[in-house]
Amino acid sequence: MLVKIYPENPNPKAIEQIVEVLKKGGIIIYPTDTVYGMGCDITNQRAIEKICRLRGIKPEKANFSFICSDLRHISDYIKPIDTTVFRLLKKALPGPFTFILNANNNVPKLLSSNKKTVGIRVPDNNIAREIVLQLGNPILSTSIHDDDEVIEYSTDPDLIHEKYEDKVDMVIDGGYGDNEPSTVVDCTSGDFEVIRQGKGVLEDFL
């Protein structure tokens, strides 16, 4: 199912419909402030397993992000962070960053058998944040990759729908996506190490 939503003013009824799909263990493809993502409710183990099958990866080896609506949720999933790290998160989010932080015991067991860290995202995209807000907990997410050798990420929602309509429950058309992923910053040691340079420029917030 393809659902068109305008990012400037997301339709509350459409958001409700998406949240219902997620609550029932559905998989959605949705826009962020960078590339399109594939996501599910992080509390639904079966949905997590399904995403892993679609991506051909083992859950314990997967590098998923947690998409949050703001910073209120993050203390539920991470160990306490120092003031410097929190200040950076507050300045840089919402924005095109994934911050790697030390995970606590609330991270779904399926994901944390070998993982001590979690990637936290608060995208600067009203659709993504509104879905998470209405759902009441983060979405587990992974980027949509393109088969094209030149373009790494899929940007056209119609083409994404064509490719995935039989594999996922809903594709949300929020307009063309970006072809540049988020910048990944490792904060686990207290320092800030950019492990993938993407759309976000960390220096702007230091």
12-45 pLDDT, tens digit per residue, is 999 999 999 999 999 999 999 999 999 999 999 8
pLDDT, one tens digit per residue, over 32-90 is 999 999 999 999 989 998 998 988 887 767 778 999 999 987 888 899 999 999 999 99
pLDDT on residue 176: 92
Distance of CA 159 to CAs 15, 52, 156, Å? Answer: 22, 21, 5
Give me the domains of the chain, ranges plus CATH numbers: 2-204 (3.90.870.10)
pLDDT, one tens digit per residue, over 127-160 is 999 999 999 999 999 988 755 555 566 788 999 9
